[in-house]
Amino acid sequence: MAANEAVDNKAKDAKAAAPAAAAPKSDKFGILILGVVLMNTLAAAAIGYLVMQLSGRVTGFDKKTQELSDKFEEQKKVPPAAGKEFVPQELGVLYPLDSFLVNVSSDRGPRFLQMKVELELGAPSLEDEISLKRPALRDAIIVLLTSRTYSELREPQGMRRLRADLLRVMNNLLKTGQIREIYFTQFHFN
């Protein structure tokens, strides 16, 4: 019996040792599974966060697109007055003048303005009168140009004022008709 007891004790010790040896492998495998589950959870959370961020940007983009679309629709309703000087409706007879080179005062000393214009005539018969009065018209233009400063003429508002003043001065010299519009075909500073 003692031999049986010794064999039973060895079997019990072996059974007790087997779970103890298997337990560390089981714990490592459980930790590994827990690590993989945590990494997957973090990856899913990061992807969810990125999707929310992209969704917010797309929503913002949609709002901006809608705002621009609304502004475009509003601009369609407004008649184009600002582009009048660039898109002539019905051109009359165009009469080119020789180029002008005048001194213009500036903060940095005198500057030169080189300008060339074409006149849109109200009637074709006005060409003869302009040909006869060309020296007087050129003089009026030169006097008006030299009275302006560089900073005035560089601004779009200053050019509009110059155009209006040129029309007024030249039309005051003409008797048989009027100049409808002035087009700057060259306008630069040296």
pLDDT of residue 123: 87
pLDDT of residue 18: 52
Comparing CA positions, the residue from 168, 162, 2, 173 lying closest to residue 85 is 162
Full residue range of the structural domain in which residue 135 is found: 93-189
> Does 109 lie in the same domain as 37?
no
> Does 118 lie in the same domain as 71?
no
> Does 178 lie in the same domain as 101?
yes
> Does 104 lie in the same domain as 73?
no
pLDDT of residue 122: 87
Q: Is 114 inside any structural domain?
A: yes
> Does 146 lie in the same domain as 64?
no
> Does 100 lie in the same domain as 51?
no
pTM: 0.52
Write the burial class of residue 115 (CB in 10 Å: 0-12 exposed, 13-18 middle, 19+ buried): buried
DSSP assignment of 89-130 equals SS--EEEE---EEEEEB-TTS-EEEEEEEEEEESSTTHHHHH
Q: Residue-wise pLDDT tens for the chain (190 aa)?
A: 555 565 555 555 655 555 555 555 678 888 889 999 999 999 999 999 999 888 888 887 788 888 888 887 777 665 555 555 555 467 788 899 999 999 888 888 888 889 999 999 888 889 999 999 999 999 999 999 888 888 888 888 988 999 999 999 999 999 988 999 999 999 888 8
pLDDT of residue 90: 75
pLDDT of residue 181: 92
Q: Is 139 inside any structural domain?
A: yes
Distance CA 100, CA 138 (A): 8
Distance CA 108, CA 87 (A): 35
